[in-house]
């Protein structure tokens, strides 16, 4: 019998999917900027070319946004093979849905919502398999900034820590504190209300704090 937590997670997955679907159907999303910049205008021209039958034009969209999407998906998996598959899946889904794009917000915002959905589904499929860096190693983190780990190592440790949380907690912490997105933008990407984002972030922070405290106590105090 599914637990209450599983049922909640399933509902939240549906929320993420519904958020993307509503935008695909043309429901006006909230734009963070309120205007279309030159990059967005270029995207619209390219999209018209693709929809007009120029299949090669989609390569321009990929080239324009691949770095941003790749960075987003690196948050969801640091396995290079899996990461490449996730990036590809984002652009495949975007291509298949391109005819439904209504330009109520810049293409990059629409693409980010698809990327969030793809990443969230990946985490759900993974069933919270911890990464290779154990949380106990955080106790050995040097306090001296001169001895602090390199950014790549620090990122790997943070990713490993977050991997021990449920997908919905990982998602809100990643968007709010790793990518430093606002409550409003996090709500746009997930389809949650702003109140839900705040509540979920508060709960996730409590769980993260508990992980740190457990690591501080060590395995002998479990």
d(C-alpha 44, C-alpha 103), whole Å: 8
Q: How high is the pLDDT of residue 22?
A: 43
Structural domains of the chain sorted by starting position, each given as residue range(s) with its CATH number in brackets: 4-221 (1.10.1740.10)
Which residue from 132, 113, 119, 108 is spatially nearest to 75, judged by alpha carbons?
119
Over the chain, what is the mean pLDDT? 78
**How many C-beta atoms surround the C-beta of residue 84 within 10 A?**
13
Residue 61 has pLDDT above 90, yes or no: yes
Residue 16 has pLDDT above 70, yes or no: no
Q: How high is the pLDDT of residue 70?
A: 96
Residue 185 has pLDDT above 90, yes or no: yes
Q: What are phi and psi of 189, to 5 degrees?
A: -70, -35
d(C-alpha 104, C-alpha 11), whole Å: 26
d(C-alpha 46, C-alpha 53), whole Å: 11
Q: pLDDT by residue (tens digit) across 81-106?
A: 999 999 999 999 999 999 989 888 88
Q: How high is the pLDDT of residue 91?
A: 98
Handedness of CA 44, 46, 47, 52 (dihedral sign): positive
Q: pLDDT by residue (tens digit) across 29-53?
A: 334 444 446 788 899 999 999 999 9
Determine the 3-state secondary structure of 98 from DSSP.
helix
- pTM (whole model) above 0.75: no
Residues 6+ away with beta carbon under 8 Å from 119: 72, 73, 75, 76, 77, 86, 171
Report the pLDDT averaged over residues 113-137: 76
């Amino acid at each position: 019998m599914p637990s209450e937590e599983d049922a909640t997670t399933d509902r939240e997955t549906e929320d993420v999917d519904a958020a993307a679907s509503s935008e695909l159907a043309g429901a006006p999303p909230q734009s963070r900027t309120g205007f279309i910049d030159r990059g967005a205008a270029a995207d619209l021209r390219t999209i018209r070319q693709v929809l007009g039958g120029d299949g090669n034009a989609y390569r321009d969209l990929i080239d324009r946004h691949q770095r941003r999407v790749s960075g987003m998906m690196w948050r969801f998996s640091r396995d290079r093979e899996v990461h490449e598959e996730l990036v590809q899946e984002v652009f495949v889904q975007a291509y298949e849905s391109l005819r439904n794009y209504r330009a109520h917000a810049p293409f990059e915002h629409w693409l980010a919502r698809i990327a969030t959905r793809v990443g969230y589904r990946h985490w759900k499929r993974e069933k919270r398999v911890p990464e290779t860096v154990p949380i106990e190693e955080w106790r050995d983190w040097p306090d001296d900034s001169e001895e602090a780990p390199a950014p790549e190592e620090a990122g790997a440790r943070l990713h490993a820590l977050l991997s021990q949380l449920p997908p919905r907690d990982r998602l809100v912490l990643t968007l709010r504190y790793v990518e430093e997105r606002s409550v409003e933008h996090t709500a746009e990407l997930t389809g949650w209300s702003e109140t839900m984002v705040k509540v979920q972030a508060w709960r996730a922070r409590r769980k993260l704090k508990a992980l740190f405290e457990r690591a501080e106590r060590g395995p002998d105090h479990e």
